[in-house]
Structure 1
C-alpha cells in the first residue's frame, strides 16, 4: 500500500520514546507509503537501526499504503505469531471493468468498460458483498506472491504464462460500504461506480480478489484502485510512524509490551527468570487454563520468553536475550 495520529496516541508514542533510548529489540509500526515495496521499508529500517536483523509480518503491495509491522533484533521471533493475525483494510473498488491484475495497475480485460455501471442498485451491491462475507473459497489473484512449482505466481504472469491458482478457504469477517457508492468519470468520459469499503479478514485473504469477485457477481467487472491496511492483530495504524522517521530505538514497542498484546502474561520471580533463561522447566500449576504461548516477564519488565504448558510445568518455546532489553 500516511499516519493519522490523535493526541493521546502521540503522547503515548512520546512516552515510549523517552523510555526506549538505546533499545535494540522491539516491534516497529511503520506507515508504508505508496510506491514502496515491503522490502524497501525493511532495507530502510536496517540502515536507520544499524542492524541486518529486521523482518516484517506480512507484505503490502507497492500500490498499497498503511500498516507494516516490523520486528527488530530478537523481536523478529514474534513475527511468526503475527503473520496469521486478522487484518483490517479500507479500500476503493471500481466497478465497470476487470483488469489483468485485479487492480488499477493492470490492463482492462474488456476494452469497452461497462457504461451501465451507474445503474447498479445499492441492494444488488449489498447482496453481492454479503455473499462474499463469512467463510468463503477464494481464488487468489494471479499476480500474488504464491509460489507455483517454486516460482512466484506474479513472476510467471510477467513472463507471459497463464497462471491458474486453486481456491483456498479464507474468512471475511466484515465487508461493508463506507458511505454511498460514488459515480466518477475519467478523462475519456467513462463513468465508473466507486465503492469505499472496509474489510476485516483472516490472513491470506486478497482484497484485490474481493474486488474482482464483486465485479463478477454484479456482471460488470471490478478492480481495486486504493488499498490501506489499518490493523494487524492488536496493532493499529494510529500508532505507526513514517518510514523515514529517525530514532528507531525510541519508536520500538518493547518486547514485553508487544507480547502482552498478543498472549496471556505470567509474571516470574527473579529466580524463575534465571531458570527459564537456562532452559529449565518451571512448576506453575496456576497457569492451567491459559492458552499458550504465554509471555513470561521478569520482575524488571523484561520479556524472558514464550512458554507452553506440560501438565503443571511450563517450558520455554522461545527465549529472548537479556542484553537486548
Structure 2
C-alpha cells in the first residue's frame, strides 16, 4: 500500500516582481507546490514589487495573525503631478507650473514629511480595495462613480527622505516608510503633494518588510521544492512562545483548558503559540481567567 504524500505546510516568502498581480503569484505558487490551499497575508498592487507572505496548507490558518503586522516600504514620490489613482497608473489630474515647483524647498518637503509622521488620519486612495456598500472602491471608481472614503487612523512610525532629485516637470523623492497595516503609501504621496501645493503621486513602490519577515529572505522563482517556513517558527516569531508538555499538547488539541496555567503566559503575549516538546505548533492560546485555552489548533504533524 502506497504511503500518502505529505501535503505542504508552512509559510512562503515571495519577492513579487512588477507588472504581475499578487493573485498571479498565488496561482504560480499553487502550481509549484501542487496544492490549492494557499492564501496570502496582504496583497501588493501590480506596479509594486517586494514581499508577499503566503500561507500553504494547514498554515493558512496562521494568516489571521499575520495580516495586521507593521510594514516597511521603499518608494518614489513625484511632486508636481497628481493622478486619479495617486500612482503612475492613473490619468493625470493636475500638473504644477514651473513657478510653483521652484517654490518647493527641501525644508518645505521635510516639514511636509514630518506632518505626515506619527499617528495620522488618512483618507485611503479612491482606487483601493476598501469596500463601499459591498463593492470595492476601485470597481466603483472605474465605473465612473464618485467614491468618498472615510479617514482612518494609521501610524507612520518612520518617514525618511533618502534622496531628492529634480526631474523634468517635477521633483522625485526617494523615501523609506515604516507604518502600521492599512497605511496607503499612495495616499502619503498624494497628501504630501497637496500640502506643498503642487500635487504628488507614487511612481515606484517596494515592500521590504512585514513584521519580522524581510524581503531579502524571500524567493523570486516559484518552482517545485520551494522552502517553507515551519508553522511553529513563524508563530513563535510573531506571537511569542508558550511551551507545553506532551500531555498539555494533547489536552489542548482535544479542546481542554489548562487549569491554572494563565500565570505562564506573559502579560505582553495576548495569543502566544503553544509549542510541544518536539518543537511542533499545537495551536494559538489565550488566557481565560486562571486557565489557558486554545483559540486555534493545527492538525498534529508527523514527527
With the shorter chain as reference, the TM-score category is: over 0.9
Q: Please name the residue that 2:77 is paired with.
A: 93
Alignment check: 8 A CA contact 2:118 2:156 kept: yes
Alignment partners' CA distance in 1, 2:132 and 2:242: 42
Unaligned 5+ runs, structure 2: none
Cα deviation per residue 1:162-200 (whole Å; 9 max; x = unaligned)? Answer: 212111111111111013x11123xxxxx3210000111
Secondary structure (helix, strand or coil) at the match of 1:282 reads: coil
Correspondence 1:212-223 to 2 at 5 A: 212-223=190-201
Q: Please name the residue that 2:297 is paired with.
A: 319
Q: Please name the residue that 2:183 is paired with.
A: 205
Q: Please name the residue that 1:56 is paired with.
A: 40
Alignment partners' CA distance in 2, 1:253 and 1:162: 43
CA-based RMSD of the aligned residues comes to: 1.7
- The alpha-carbon deviation at position 22 of structure 1 amounts to 5.9
Cα deviation per residue 1:88-143 (whole Å; 9 max; x = unaligned)? Answer: 10000001110011001111112x44324255211000000101111111111010
Alignment check: 8 A CA contact 1:104 1:224 kept: yes
Correspondence 1:1-325 to 2 at 5 A: 24-110=8-94, 112-116=95-99, 117-179=101-163, 181-185=164-168, 191-248=169-226, 251-283=227-259, 284-290=261-267, 291-323=269-301
Alignment partners' CA distance in 1, 2:54 and 2:302: 16
- The alpha-carbon deviation at position 42 of structure 1 amounts to 1.0
Cα deviation per residue 1:238-287 (whole Å; 9 max; x = unaligned)? Answer: 11111524312xx1110000011111212221111112111111132541
Cα deviation per residue 1:216-239 (whole Å; 9 max; x = unaligned)? Answer: 000001000000001111111111
- The alpha-carbon deviation at position 324 of structure 1 amounts to 6.7
Q: Please name the residue that 1:13 is paired with.
A: none
Task: Say how many residue pairs are matched.
Answer: 296
Secondary structure (helix, strand or coil) at the match of 2:86 reads: coil
Secondary structure (helix, strand or coil) at the match of 2:192 reads: helix
Q: Please name the residue that 1:15 is paired with.
A: none
Secondary structure (helix, strand or coil) at the match of 2:83 reads: coil
Alignment partners' CA distance in 1, 2:233 and 2:292: 21
Secondary structure (helix, strand or coil) at the match of 1:178 reads: strand
Cα 1:243–1:56, aligned 2, differ >3 Å: closer, same or farther? farther
Moved more, 314-323 or 223-232: 314-323
Unaligned 5+ runs, structure 1: 1-20, 186-190
Alignment partners' CA distance in 1, 2:115 and 2:154: 13
Alignment check: 8 A CA contact 1:184 1:194 kept: yes
Q: Please name the residue that 1:3 is paired with.
A: none
Alignment partners' CA distance in 1, 2:6 and 2:16: 24
Alignment partners' CA distance in 2, 1:225 and 1:59: 18
Alignment partners' CA distance in 2, 1:234 and 1:224: 26
- The alpha-carbon deviation at position 311 of structure 1 amounts to 2.8
Alignment partners' CA distance in 2, 1:140 and 1:51: 34
